Structure 1
Amino acid sequence: MRWYIQSMVCDMVFLPPSGYAVPPQCAAASHIILWKIMSTVVPPMPADWQLPPGVSRALWDYFHDPAIARAYDATLDGTPLLNIDQAFVLEHCRLAGTIIDLGSGTGRLALTLAQNGYRPIAVDLSPEMLKVLREKALALNLDIPCVCGNLVELGMFADRSFDHAACLFSTLGLIVGADARLQFLAHVHRLLRPGGVFVLHVHNRWFNVWTAHGRRLLWTEMLASWLGRGASGDYEMPAHASVGRLTMHLFTRHEIVGLLRAVGFDTVEVRRLSLRPDGRLACPWWFGRLRSYGYLIAARKPMA
């Protein structure tokens, strides 16, 4: 893949990928340099063994389909969660500082944050969606650095580079493999400054109890667990935009909170979500773990 690297003056650090030399004019600058890496071509289709960690073949195809990227905003239009999760981010990330939008898509969060005085950087595996994001940012006269990369491989970013981080719309669940998901969360913790807030959204595995198909999936999981084979929580999604066999990992509340604590986060809030337009779950004390279709979570990196 060919990459074109540009630089800009800012107050945070983004380290270039290994193998890329810093141009002399940048190395001599007295400012901290933020690198913007932008793909100008669609990368060639890799063999299965060449796929990045945490990325399936179906997921790669989905993220590199120009038609999906162009129709993405229209497909999600009217989804209540789009406003609910952004309000949650603004509620918990009150300092209008630097924020990394992980799995930014076409930029719905990054654009909102930039318009509210934050300094976002967008990271996504899809060069096509980042292309749409840059077009929208240009139309609004916003400067949003974009990085086309894998969420499991965030080593190019320096430690303690960001005030906040966000991973919305069940993006974490699209990462394939428990080890890859844990590696991603560890990266997020590393990237945040002490006291930094991480906001994420996941789907609730137990919400499957309300459909016949979901109950069969849960029963299969429980049977596997009883037989000592473990319960993966991975579910195959219906074919989407001609891309089939996408898998989504659905979390229990105990699982996601445990993963966040394992990498060093303190949980600030775990908000149960309903299918109501405002997302609020009435009477959450009444079988809330079964009635919640997902969770919005705010976690903080300790000061010490």
Structure 2
Amino acid sequence: MGTVQGNNDLDPKQFALPVDKEHKSKVFPIFSVANPHMRAFHLSWVQFFACFVSSFAAPPLLPIIRDNLNLTATDIGNAGIASVSGAVFARIAMGTACDLVGPRLASASLTLLTAPAVYLTSSADSATWFLLVRFFTGFSLATFVSTQFWMSSMFSPPVVGRANGVSCNWQKLTQSLGVISGMTGGGGNVGAVITQLIFFKGSRYTTELGISYMGIMMIACSIPITLIYFPQWGGMLCGPKSEVTEVDYYMKEWDSQEQQQDLHQVSLKFADSSKSERGKKVESASSEDKDSTPTHV
């Protein structure tokens, strides 16, 4: 059950669910186990759920672990930082692995490799040992990347957001989606490490004050999102440009020579699929007179 992209010679009728021309499912029947789309969905969220629980099983038990191992506040803070630090490098590596061998093999291999660290957590008898098992167990959080990658390969744009949200709360368009997903996920963990170091390591701030400062930092870092703008879709502060379509926007990535070599075909497919990103209350450029094949294609 790898990705369905690139198998354009398959008959859409072979799939149990309605699919688009890239064989991505156009629906998301959450209680279905249709192969391969919904079966991949259920396997991915179960796997990520297991990895998530394994990585964060220790914090609720810290009062007991602290007494058994004689941990100091610094030891506990270092272990927390180690847990998310391991995921930084693992997520970047997972993105590359998804591009090379696919999300199924990449995520399965990582889960098997990190399982011993989860098992050995029960044998930790010192602060250093506890830090190491939390560090290596944190690698399993990289399955977040493979789950996102897998869902982006199995579901079309109108429903992929829902699939990603469900699978990861319990992007394969180009050959670099895995790397991009890995770097994005790794960046999130870098932020978690920095937050731990600034607000929750040592005795500089109380837990309550650290949480307050962290909330202020989150608000400050979120404000620039309001400035994001796509000419064909608009942004939070202003609407789209009526003369710009998805095809116009994404074709800018290719020069005339690359277009003659048909290297732009993937972008054309993506532009067609991305029309679903148009807001319901904002009309983008009319597709009736611009959906025809452009002269530069």
Larger radius of gyration: 2
Q: Same fold (TM over 0.5)?
A: no
Task: Tell me which of the two structures has the higher relative contact order, counting C-alpha pairs closer than 8 angstroms and 6 or more residues apart.
Answer: 2
Normalised by the size of structure 1, how large is the TM-score? 0.22
Q: Which has the higher helix share?
A: 2
